[in-house]
Amino acid sequence: MNFFKRIAYYMGGFSVGIIVVLFFLSGKETSCSYFPNARVLKEIRFKHQEISPEALQFFKTNQIDTLVISKLLHQGKVNFSKSETSTKKPCRTYLITGDHQGKKLQLQVEECKETDSIATISKAEFDTP
């Protein structure tokens, strides 16, 4: 069998394989979160979110809606250098930053081992450079 026939058989099998994979994965909501930032944000988004009274007061004072929080949890950046992610402590604290109306908004989110299904937004503030 010459080289061109091998390429033709390979491309035929490869294209059939891609069609089969696309058929099986077309109805599922699959996502790839490989980087640490995406993993943390996805983990927080899928948990029940509670807001501390201090953060709630900040949101009311600055007229910030829950849509802004949701947007920040989708497009924000986790500042790992200012976050406390030690596995020895019962709670991990993440500092998430993002833009809101030209200002940099920071959320401090706590995830505790005791409450696996809850992420608490403990503090919110505008970052001043």
Taking CA atoms, 68 is separated from 19, 30, 44, 100, 105, in Å, by 39, 24, 15, 8, 10
The model's pTM is: 0.71
- pLDDT bin (cut points 50, 70, 90) of residue 129 is low
Rounded distance, CA 85 to CA 83, Å?
6
Residue ranges of domains in the chain: 1-30, 35-126
Residue 69 main-chain phi, psi, to 5 deg:
-65, -45
Write out the two tokens for 82. 């200012």
- pLDDT bin (cut points 50, 70, 90) of residue 54 is very high
Residue-wise pLDDT for 69-109, tens only, equals: 899 999 899 999 888 887 667 788 999 999 888 889 999 99
Rounded distance, CA 48 to CA 53, Å?
16
The length of the chain is 129
